[in-house]
Amino acid sequence: MRIRDWLPVAAARLENSESSRRDAEILLSFVTGKGRSWLRAFDETTLDGTQLATLTALIARRAKGEPVAYITGVREFWSLALRVSPVTLIPRPDTEVLVECALEKMDTPQGHALDLGTGTGAIALALASERPGWQVTGVDCIAEAVRLAQHNGKNLAINNVSFLPGHWFSAVGGRRFDLIVTNPPYIDVDDIHLTQGDVRFEPTSALIAADRGLADIRHIALHAAAHLRPDGWLLIEHGWQQADRVRQILFSAGFTSVKTCRDYGGNERVTRGRVAK
């Protein structure tokens, strides 16, 4: 079967996906080892029996809802190819807004940044790749996630980043940073979205937080000042309906210059605050 004939059939099997054609192309690229632009340019190429059998199995997995990133083991974030696994969240485009906001505050040649709940290391690695003069530390309470982040750092040859196991600030002792970023669990346990889409396959420990999704955000805000240098910044990604409450949490924790940034869809997504001198 030719690529041009296979793609519409595969996309039709993924009718419940929000991006059926894209998903099919990514799986096709994974199996053939060819880029998506090549596949489009040479779509008269015939797929052999082994490739078709493998693709049939992968399409079946995707049709059941399994995320493409878990099937291929790879996800691109900030133009970085990251290994992913079911022990971590899948990096999402909206989280790049957190990176953009953080880079605005990393405006000195050197400094130290901390990424809490680093998962795949996506945020830490993006920051370290853009600011080679900074030292970036990523922390996660899941040992396997730390190993995965370390693998990603080594594979990408990003040397100004390190990853540590620990629960929030426990891994860094009395160290202080110029910037702290985090994409913590912020979904309420009763949120209907937990039963939909890719999140059904992602670790609940990285998604769900008590107190209507705000417990971890509040914990981080209350302890961040002790780990920030004077005029240091805390940036938190949160749910699109949580901005008002997150701003109040930062104000109550003593932060100043509190402001929320919007994601690519126009939703309030990242709230930042500066620690008082």
Whether 140 has a binding-site annotation, put simply, is yes
**What length does the chain have?**
277
Which pLDDT score, from 0 to 100, does residue 194 have? 65
15 band by pLDDT with thresholds 50, 70 and 90: confident
Which pLDDT score, from 0 to 100, does residue 111 have? 97
pTM above 0.85, yes or no: yes
19 band by pLDDT with thresholds 50, 70 and 90: confident
Percent residues over pLDDT 90 in the chain: 73
Least confident of 34-43, 69-78, 160-169, 182-191: 182-191
Residues 61 and 81 in one domain: no
Whether 50 has a binding-site annotation, put simply, is no
Residues 113 and 185 in one domain: yes
User: Count of domains in the chain?
Assistant: 2
Which pLDDT score, from 0 to 100, does residue 202 have? 72
Whether 265 has a binding-site annotation, put simply, is no
Q: Is the pLDDT of residue 206 over 90?
A: no
Whether 168 has a binding-site annotation, put simply, is yes
Residue 70 located in a structural domain? no
Tell me whether strands 177-182 and 111-116 are parallel, antiparallel or unpaired.
Answer: parallel
Mean pLDDT of 34-46: 89
Residue 72 located in a structural domain? no
Percent residues over pLDDT 70 in the chain: 96
- In tens, the pLDDT along 230-264 reads 999 999 999 888 999 999 999 999 999 999 999 88
Whether 86 has a binding-site annotation, put simply, is no
Residues 46 and 170 in one domain: no
Residues 158 and 60 in one domain: no
Residues 246 and 127 in one domain: yes
Sequence-separated (6 or more) residues with CB below 8 Å from residue 184: 116, 117, 209, 216, 217, 220, 236, 237
Residues 153 and 255 in one domain: yes
- In tens, the pLDDT along 45-102 reads 999 999 999 999 999 999 988 999 999 999 999 989 999 998 888 898 889 999 999 9
The CA-atom distances, in angstroms, between 215 and each of 18, 87, 184 are 31, 21, 10
Whether 16 has a binding-site annotation, put simply, is no
Whether 183 has a binding-site annotation, put simply, is yes
Residues 20 and 152 in one domain: no
Whether 132 has a binding-site annotation, put simply, is no
Whether 119 has a binding-site annotation, put simply, is yes
Residues 132 and 92 in one domain: yes
Whether 264 has a binding-site annotation, put simply, is no
Residues 17 and 91 in one domain: no
Whether 118 has a binding-site annotation, put simply, is yes
What is the CATH number for 30? 1.10.8.10
Residues 180 and 267 in one domain: yes
| Domain carrying residue 130 | 77-275
Sequence-separated (6 or more) residues with CB below 8 Å from residue 71: 27, 30, 58, 61, 62
Residue 181 located in a structural domain? yes
**Cα(261)–Cα(271) distance, rounded to whole angstroms?**
6
What is the CATH number for 92? 3.40.50.150
